[in-house]
């Protein structure tokens, strides 16, 4: 093979790896069902990472085991927001559900950080600290989730 062929193959491989890395988020944003979850603040601004809001979800299970594993959190509507009903290592038949990772101390569902401009971060922080905020999340049929926005109720 000549040099151009090798360069083309390397470029295609790199594009494939990038596509694989963002496939879950992209799928959730494009095909996902929109749900709203109550949020709580964790750590609103990190000077090394920029302006972002780090969120916790009080209505999702705080289940954690000593072993790390992927789990599925089944959701049910409760008024204007959604809440966890069960957490299982088996994929549920009913939708919507979140595919999360139990890392031994909390569930990580890929919707814990929201990056925003500095002035918007302070506004969101005030709403979240006041207990008056919800996360707008899109969830696809495989449980992949993408955090779309955080807004006052």
Q: What is the mean pLDDT of each run of 10 residues along the chain (153 residues)?
A: 80 74 66 77 57 80 70 91 90 91 82 79 73 86 89 76
Which residues are within 8 A (CB) of 25 and not within 5 positions of it... i.e. 6 or more apart?
Answer: 110, 144, 146
Which residues are within 8 A (CB) of 35 and not within 5 positions of it... i.e. 6 or more apart?
Answer: 75, 82, 96, 136, 137, 138, 139
Give the strand pairing for 97-102 and 69-78. antiparallel
In 6-131, at which residue ranges do the beta strands (DSSP E only) sit? 33-38, 40-41, 45-46, 50-56, 69-78, 81-88, 97-102, 107-108, 113-115
- pLDDT at position 31 is 73
- pLDDT at position 41 is 64
- By C-alpha distance, which of 109, 118, 9 is closest to 55? 109
Q: How far is CA 113 from the centre of its chain?
A: 8
Give the strand pairing for 45-46 and 50-56. antiparallel
- pLDDT at position 56 is 84
- pLDDT at position 91 is 92
- pLDDT at position 26 is 65
The dihedrals phi and psi of 3, each to the nearest 5 degrees, come to: -65, -40
- pLDDT at position 139 is 92
* Cβ pair 41, 126 in contact under 8 A: no
Task: Compute CA distances 25 → 30, 31, 49, 105, 138, whole Å.
Answer: 9, 10, 20, 23, 9
């Amino acid at each position: 093979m000549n040099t151009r062929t090798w360069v083309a193959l390397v470029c295609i491989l790199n594009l494939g790896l990038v596509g694989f890395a963002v496939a879950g988020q992209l799928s959730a944003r494009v095909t996902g069902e929109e749900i709203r979850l109550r949020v709580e603040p964790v750590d609103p601004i990190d000077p090394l990472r920029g302006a972002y809001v780090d969120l916790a979800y009080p209505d999702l299970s705080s289940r954690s085991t000593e072993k790390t594993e992927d789990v599925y959190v089944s959701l049910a509507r409760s008024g204007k927001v959604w809440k966890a009903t069960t957490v299982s290592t088996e994929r549920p038949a009913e939708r919507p559900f979140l595919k999360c990772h139990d890392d031994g101390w909390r569930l990580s569902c890929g919707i814990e950080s929201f990056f925003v401009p500095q002035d918007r971060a302070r506004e969101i922080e005030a709403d979240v600290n006041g207990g008056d905020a919800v996360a707008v999340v899109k969830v696809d049929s495989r449980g992949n989730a993408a955090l779309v926005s955080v807004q006052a109720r």
